[in-house]
Amino acid sequence: SNFVRLYQAELHSKTGIETAAHEGQFPLVLLLHGQVINWHFWGEFLASHGYVVAFCPVAGTYDKRLEADITGVETEMRDAEFALGHLSNDPQVDHKRVAVIGYSHGTLAATALAAKNKTIKAMISLDGVIGDPLEGELLYEAPYFGIHKLTTPLMHLTSGASYSNNMVHIDQLSF
């Protein structure tokens, strides 16, 4: 959209700067949910510290809008699986060091991905709805990737005033 283009034009970003390629393998971080503008600085910051970063844009199953139900969770998770598969042949990705960061509703997909895919070694929830007593219930609806299968270390960051600071689902996890 024009708003995004105008806003990006004012960013003080280093993404246009040419940098020398580095040899070796680097950890991968998948960023789920949110807008490109939200992840721009996170991605740039992580990449500048030696991470391969992949942003998985949000799209719904049947149109542009992501469904706020188990179908939407699975769609977003499968998009992330596609990104993982695409990067599986990249010789610079260290597939033993893969993390996922989910924001808001994206933490549902991040949790599903980590529960289903054991290559995910760490997960961060940023104000994620996995801490919401109602939306977090979605993680129990899919037996093949539900929260009960999560063994990945999880860090859940939320503000005290947030809807996502209820730990009813997170407290049930055992690692």
Euclidean distance between CA atoms 117 and 76, whole angstroms: 14
Global confidence as pTM: 0.79
Euclidean distance between CA atoms 134 and 149, whole angstroms: 19
- Residue 110, H or E segment: helix 106-116
Task: At 72, list the tokens.
Answer: 């939407």
Alpha carbon separation from 26 to 6, 41, 46, 114 (Å, rounded): 33, 19, 11, 19
pLDDT higher than threshold 90 for residue 120 = yes
Exposed e or buried b for every residue in 2-37, given b needs 16+ CB within 10 A?
eeeeeeeeeeeeeeeeeeeeeeeebbbbbbbbbeee
Residue 80: per-residue pLDDT: 92
SS3 8: helix
Query: For 9-34, what is each residue's pLDDT tens digit?
Result: 444 555 555 556 678 899 999 999 86
pLDDT higher than threshold 70 for residue 49 = yes
Amino acid at 152: T
What is the average pLDDT score of the chain? 77
